[in-house]
A and B are shown apart, each in its own frame.
Chain A
Amino acid sequence: MSKQLALVIDLNVCVGCHACVTSCKEWNTSGSAGALPDERPYGKDPSGTFFNRVQTFEVGEFPNVETVHFPKSCLHCEDPPCVPVCPTGASYKREEDGIVLVDYDKCIGCEYCSWACPYGAREIDTRQKVMKKCTLCVDRIYDPELPESERKPACVLACPTSARLFGDVNDPDSEVSVAIREEGGYQLMPEWGTNPANHYLPRRKQRITIHEDELIRADSPLKKEGVHPHGPVEDVTLDDVTSW
């Protein structure tokens, strides 16, 4: 199978800190996908272009409720609906690594692709009048001037909980494939047939089971103080009331 680069996001450790959001913005605004403009940066209702955003929502009812932080960017679908709808061919999927990109020189800003994308992953740059989106930091990951360990998307390097894994989901031995396989990785809305390359790892719960007979051990330190660990026997016993 051909190479398909992707992010695998581990919701089990993502604390919703937004490090991925702004490190993406700072890398890409001055990179080959830049600039990422901001409208009204110091005014009312500020709104800018971000390739990656974190949504937070609640699941369940008090007290059985989960607060979920959910980072979302272009999922680099294996069958991306944004590509065939593009009238100019600006939206394309690379053969060599499966990254979905937009060629700004061809893009006319018609927004068909953003209508087609079921995940809302595309962001129109109203100043340059082109559609912009996550490139998986294509200008970092192949840069021979960077040390090997840093040829990763900015969000992956930034993430303090290393909740973002990066690699080839079609290579069964890659870190991302192993994580998807072993930790229950899933795609967003697979029923739409887009086959997103990015995956999410679910919350996993750790519990401790303590059996009642594990609570007090024979060497309980209470015994050393002359205290019976099961508490004083104050109620009447058979021994008190029977005389035969």
Chain B
Amino acid sequence: MNKSLGVNVKTGGNEVKNTTCYMCACRCGIRVTLRQGEVRYIEGNPDHPLNKGVICAKGASGIMKQHSPARLTKPLLRKKGSDRGAAEFEEITWDSAFSILERRLAKIRETDPKKFALFTGRDQMQALTGLFAKQFGTPNYAAHGGFCSVNMAAGMIYSIGGSFWEFGGPDLERARLFVMIGTAEDHHSNPLKMAISKFKRSGGRFVSINPVRTGYSAIADEWVPIKPGTDGALLLALNHELILHGLYDRDFLIQYTNAAELVNQDEDSNEFGMFVRAEVPADEGCFDPPNKLWWDRNLDRAILARSEKADPKLLGHYTLADGTPVKTAFQLLVERLRQYTPEWAETVTGVPADTIRRLAHEMGVTARDQKIELPISWTDVWGREHDSVTGNPVAFHAMRGLAAHSNGFQTIRALSILMTVLGTIDRPGGFRHKAPFPRPIPPCAKTPNDPSAVRPGTPLGDMPLGWPAEPDDLFVDEHGEPVRIDKAFSWEYPLAVHGMMHNVITNATRGDPYRIDTLMIFMANMAWNSTMNTVEVRKMLNEKDENGEFKIPFLVVCDTFQSETVAFADLVLPDTTYLERHDVMSMLDRPISEYEGPVDSVRIPVIDPPSGCKPFQEVLIELASRLGFPKFVHKDGRRKFKDYPDFVVNYETDPGSGIGFLAGWRGENGDQFMKGSPNPNQWEKYRQNNCVYQYHLPKSYQYMRNWNMGYLEWAQDHRLVRYAEAINLHIYSEVLQQFRLAAQGKTSDRQPPDRLRKRIETYFDPLPFYYEPLESRMTDKGKYPLKAITQRPMAMYHSWDSQNAWLRQIHSHNYLYMSPLVGKEQEFSDGDWIWVESMWGKVKCMCRFSEAVEPGTVWTWNAIGKANGAWNLAPGSDEAKKGFLLNHLISEELPAAEHESYSNSDPITGQAAWYDVQVRVYPAEDGKNMSMPQFDKMKPVPGVSKKRKPWLAYFAGEKQ
């Protein structure tokens, strides 16, 4: 101890402020203690519903974010004549930055708004960035969901009306068996850690299915190693085994899903594969009219589904009075599953058939025999009173591990069906929704469906991102070709509901489908770890046409730090850190709701930013005002909003709608929530309340929300949903079947271009099926026998701070982990330098042998390796010379076949297939102990710290 300071030295600070963390995407409540204006301590806020006082390695390293030498502090303009990537910049003022942007963007907006593209690496600001794009009138907007986990969002939302993470999650409070599949730790990491610990301590059993045993898998009661990309096969076999033994929740399937509904089986009919429907007067504005049919066992004929006193058949094939052959959806599922035996799955997944059977039995018997009954009465949408809420205590969690494969959507359909068959949706001990979910299947928001929606000087009429329900909702031209630069919502990737950021640079460079003028990137490292095919993408960013003009004429990058991508920008906008700005976790975006009800939250600055930095939100408000967007200026052109905090309080989705960015303390007196006129004291109310607004639904509204009349009417009254009607689960997806029928030429409206008919027909299967990932299928597996995957380490999940002085000491470089058997075969030893090569390129790195990995898989920590000099790390730093990036080996496109280039993505959702790559490894014998490829050293840009201290001894408030 420092006696001179004394044990009784005032070790705390002199000021404490609450805000919300943003060291990753969790959004925990934090308490920041300041000492003489410097951050003394950041701790979890014990009064915050999300993290209840805990914090993670990143959150506790937030201080070092403030002291990073990579901090950008001035707007920068690329020096005339210099190459992109050379990082030759001159400092400019914010005034000039704004005039440059205003002039350029005004011209684009007045001529062809789609030539402006806005893509952001974080999607927790979409309420504002999406509004900006919509008001600009460009369809070319998305956040990072398309290359993160859109398969998880889409696969589940198109099946059960909700999904994991912000949308819902496992109820570990009451589950008895918890199964986590694939890498999933980074989605809601602190709440999940807290929940798993409590779950284990209360005697729950935790099974982890994953090619690698790291992360939370380390503490699983059982680790089931599996080959990457084969989860779909396992899930289908589990469904097979459960149904074979009658281990399904029949009552749940009948009433709450479309399992017992009758499907047209007349192959000659244009209605083949669609549900048969009765002629009942449709309710106006109803998204899912209750006009489907069941087969009643007593009457032995079809009757209206969910008729009172009906006793439907769950299985079987029947003939309607008009001669139409029909089968129940469940019958079709059972027939589909017949081929997916545990023995078959063993050959695909590497998981022994006996293990698959045992897991299925554990799930089925736990669900059946450990039923939970809570004394909570509720009323369903059909008006029936229930005096209890029941549940089957088997919970699941999955995220990118399942999602980031080109077969991920159908895999996640199989998972959703497994969860449904077990009867676990929005019930205690199973999966639970978070507001604003559940939403209709699919949700109501739609993109425009016609290129004429993009008009000079005019906002888009609809959202830039939406949820197609049928081919008519696709955003294509008269030839069926894409309108968006990333080709989302086209016949190539029809349900690309989060866009396809990973193809923007390639498409724009190639002019396919067209050239753009300005690409604005916020917080996405597209010249490094956020991109596939990094080496080529860096070249593309610098590519010029025959006139010597850049193929992407103007590139704007907004970031807080000197990332690799900054080097390629024409204009750099220095952002603030999370401790320096206002922010909202809005109900209009992806709020931090809990199972018990809606929650939203804010950030309030705790320290001042460096004078040259400006929050990206302020940049957007300023530009929107200068460009005269209708929602941002009065009729006479005067700006409506002074700044972002003013916008957050006063913006309403429509004049007088009462819906704005924040749900809490609305209305003049702050006594309303969700809906209410703007409250000038709203920020103050959040400040007084830990920066969070939490609403607790009555207990009777907290479960079975897809069918809970009380909840749905409440949600409708509070404008969370448009309809207060049943959201029945899609065991059988008629949405997918409609696309398939169009591909088969059986519909009268839109059909895909001929070249895509087969693709749509194949993948838009209304029932889940397993197929080998697309890239693996095109790979010479004799040459490239190993699957290569990545994870991020817990100290860096979703983090921007792998250059953080403290965190980088935990992981300054990465290794390629593999079974010792691989090294033995290739004759190299633990720790050796090796080449890892895919059909796209090769990378040199160090290997580490591990017993905790499936022997056909190699893996590494992602986003540790950095380009030399980037992030203002000293040249020769571990990140650049010992660390490496696997991205160089992963292509953004599949091998071209017949002159067609397809994104290396799921053919349904456009989800980037990061984990499909196959590689081989062999010793590197050049004797140079340095990772490859290497890039020219990035020099410090103007405004970043010139001197890098050889040592640091941080002591808050010492400046005084």
Chain A nearest Cβ from B342, distance in angstroms: 14
B323 at interface by CB-CB < 8 Å? no
Q: Which residue from B63, B197, B214, B850 sits with its C-beta under 8 Å from A162? A: B197
- The 0/1 profile, CB within 8 Å of A marked 1, for residues 135-168 of chain B is 0000000000000000000000000000000000
In angstroms, Cα B16 to Cα A150, docked, is 15
Q: A17-B57, A17-B193, A215-B245 are in contact. Are A139 and B9 (CB under 8 A)?
A: yes
A97 at interface by CB-CB < 8 Å? no
- Do A22 and B200 touch (CB < 8 A)? no
- The 0/1 profile, CB within 8 Å of B marked 1, for residues 135-159 of chain A is 1001110010110011000100111
- Do A12 and B11 touch (CB < 8 A)? no
A26 at interface by CB-CB < 8 Å? yes
CB contacts (< 8 Å) of A63 on chain B: these are: 223, 225
- Do B805 and A42 touch (CB < 8 A)? yes
Which A1-21 residues sit within 8 Å CB-CB of chain B?
A: 12-19, 21
In angstroms, Cα B868 to Cα A231, docked, is 64
Which B28-62 residues sit within 8 Å CB-CB of chain A?
A: 35, 40-44, 46, 51, 53-61
Closest 3 CB pairs of A and B: A161-B197, A221-B250, A18-B57
- Do A67 and B314 touch (CB < 8 A)? no
- Do A143 and B12 touch (CB < 8 A)? yes
Q: Which residue from B56, B366, B955 sits with its C-beta under 8 Å from A35? A: B955
- Do A221 and B955 touch (CB < 8 A)? no
Q: Which residue from A31, A103, A127, A138 sits with its C-beta under 8 Å from B3? A: A103
Q: Among the listed stretches B479-487, B653-661, B893-901, B946-954, which one makes contact with chain A, having 4 or more residues with CB under 8 Å of it?
A: B946-954
- Do B219 and A13 touch (CB < 8 A)? yes
In angstroms, Cα B807 to Cα A46, docked, is 10
7 contacts between A and B (CB under 8 A): A15-B193, A15-B219, A23-B57, A40-B874, A48-B805, A103-B3, A203-B219
B287 at interface by CB-CB < 8 Å? no
A166 at interface by CB-CB < 8 Å? no
Question: Chain A: how many interface residues by the 8 Å CB criterion?
Answer: 88
In angstroms, Cα B44 to Cα A43, docked, is 30
- Do B810 and A38 touch (CB < 8 A)? no
B803 at interface by CB-CB < 8 Å? yes
Which A142-193 residues sit within 8 Å CB-CB of chain B?
A: 143, 145-146, 149-150, 154, 157-163
A81 at interface by CB-CB < 8 Å? no
- Do B200 and A13 touch (CB < 8 A)? yes
Q: A39-B950, A224-B314 are in contact. Are A46 and B851 (CB under 8 A)?
A: no
Chain A nearest Cβ from B165, distance in angstroms: 17
Which A187-232 residues sit within 8 Å CB-CB of chain B?
A: 203, 205-208, 210, 214-217, 220-227, 229
- Do B951 and A37 touch (CB < 8 A)? yes
- Do B809 and A38 touch (CB < 8 A)? yes
Q: Which residue from B9, B203, B315, B364 sits with its C-beta under 8 Å from A32? A: B9
Q: A17-B57, A25-B806 are in contact. Are A34 and B43 (CB under 8 A)?
A: no
- Do B1 and A229 touch (CB < 8 A)? no
B217 at interface by CB-CB < 8 Å? yes
- Do A216 and B245 touch (CB < 8 A)? yes
- Do B795 and A138 touch (CB < 8 A)? no
Chain B nearest Cβ from A234, distance in angstroms: 15
A51 at interface by CB-CB < 8 Å? no
- Do B61 and A161 touch (CB < 8 A)? no
- The 0/1 profile, CB within 8 Å of A marked 1, for residues 647-685 of chain B is 000000000000000000000000000000000000000
- Do B55 and A42 touch (CB < 8 A)? no
Q: A41-B949, A102-B1, A145-B12 are in contact. Are A19 and B57 (CB under 8 A)?
A: yes
In angstroms, Cα B7 to Cα A215, docked, is 63
Chain A nearest Cβ from B353, distance in angstroms: 15
In angstroms, Cα B204 to Cα A205, docked, is 10
CB contacts (< 8 Å) of B51 on chain A: these are: 160
Which residue of the partner chain A has the closest CB to B6?
A: A32
Which residue of the partner chain A has the closest CB to B206?
A: A206
A239 at interface by CB-CB < 8 Å? no
CB contacts (< 8 Å) of B452 on chain A: these are: none
B748 at interface by CB-CB < 8 Å? no
Chain A nearest Cβ from B397, distance in angstroms: 14
Chain B nearest Cβ from A206, distance in angstroms: 4
Apart from A18-B57, A25-B60, A50-B809, what 20 extra A-B contacts exist at CB < 8 Å?
A: A13-B201, A19-B60, A22-B807, A26-B61, A26-B806, A27-B41, A29-B955, A30-B40, A37-B952, A42-B872, A63-B225, A105-B4, A149-B46, A158-B60, A160-B189, A208-B365, A210-B361, A215-B245, A221-B246, A227-B246
A86 at interface by CB-CB < 8 Å? no
Chain B nearest Cβ from A56, distance in angstroms: 8
Q: A32-B9, A33-B1 are in contact. Are A158 and B54 (CB under 8 A)?
A: yes
Interface residues on B, range: 35 or more
In angstroms, Cα B33 to Cα A187, docked, is 36
Residues of chain B having any CB pair with chain A under 8 Å: 1-7, 9, 11-12, 35, 40-44, 46, 51, 53-61, 63, 69, 177, 185, 189-190, 193-194, 196-197, 200-201, 203-206, 213-219, 221-223, 225, 245-248, 250, 313-316, 358, 361-362, 364-366, 368-369, 794-795, 803, 805-810, 812, 819, 850-855, 872-874, 876-878, 881, 948-957
- Do A105 and B948 touch (CB < 8 A)? no
Q: Which residue from A44, A157, A225 sits with its C-beta under 8 Å from B314? A: A225
CB contacts (< 8 Å) of A34 on chain B: these are: 2, 953, 955
Q: A66-B218, A67-B214, A67-B218 are in contact. Are A60 and B43 (CB under 8 A)?
A: no
- Do A46 and B878 touch (CB < 8 A)? yes
Q: Which residue from A21, A44, A208, A215 sits with its C-beta under 8 Å from B878? A: A44
In angstroms, Cα B6 to Cα A101, docked, is 13
- Do A33 and B955 touch (CB < 8 A)? no
Chain B nearest Cβ from A36, distance in angstroms: 8
- Do A208 and B218 touch (CB < 8 A)? no
CB contacts (< 8 Å) of B203 on chain A: these are: 206
- Do A42 and B954 touch (CB < 8 A)? no
- Do A22 and B806 touch (CB < 8 A)? yes
Chain B nearest Cβ from A20, distance in angstroms: 8
- Do A62 and B954 touch (CB < 8 A)? no
Chain A nearest Cβ from B421, distance in angstroms: 11
Q: Which residue from B55, B358, B881, B952 sits with its C-beta under 8 Å from A158? A: B55
Q: A16-B218, A44-B878, A63-B225 are in contact. Are A32 and B42 (CB under 8 A)?
A: no
Q: Which residue from A16, A50, A224 sits with its C-beta under 8 Å from B250? A: A224
Chain B nearest Cβ from A51, distance in angstroms: 12
Q: A17-B794, A149-B46 are in contact. Are A207 and B205 (CB under 8 A)?
A: yes
- Do A216 and B193 touch (CB < 8 A)? no
- Do B948 and A13 touch (CB < 8 A)? no
CB contacts (< 8 Å) of B2 on chain A: these are: 32-34, 104-105
- Do A62 and B819 touch (CB < 8 A)? yes
In angstroms, Cα B315 to Cα A227, docked, is 9
Chain B nearest Cβ from A17, distance in angstroms: 4
Which A66-111 residues sit within 8 Å CB-CB of chain B?
A: 66-69, 101-105
- Do B55 and A19 touch (CB < 8 A)? yes
CB contacts (< 8 Å) of B951 on chain A: these are: 37-41, 127
Q: Which residue from B56, B60, B215, B852 sits with its C-beta under 8 Å from A65? A: B852
CB contacts (< 8 Å) of B217 on chain A: these are: 67
CB contacts (< 8 Å) of B952 on chain A: these are: 37-38, 41, 48
In angstroms, Cα B205 to Cα A226, docked, is 34
CB contacts (< 8 Å) of A48 on chain B: these are: 805-806, 809, 952
In angstroms, Cα B476 to Cα A54, docked, is 53
Chain B nearest Cβ from A200, distance in angstroms: 14
Q: Which residue from A67, A138, A216 sits with its C-beta under 8 Å from B213? A: A67
Which residue of the partner chain A has the closest CB to B794?
A: A17
CB contacts (< 8 Å) of A235 on chain B: these are: none
A240 at interface by CB-CB < 8 Å? no
CB contacts (< 8 Å) of A222 on chain B: these are: 246
In angstroms, Cα B855 to Cα A32, docked, is 49
Chain B nearest Cβ from A214, distance in angstroms: 6
In angstroms, Cα B63 to Cα A26, docked, is 8
CB contacts (< 8 Å) of B316 on chain A: these are: 225
CB contacts (< 8 Å) of A67 on chain B: these are: 213-214, 217-218, 852
- Do B42 and A26 touch (CB < 8 A)? yes
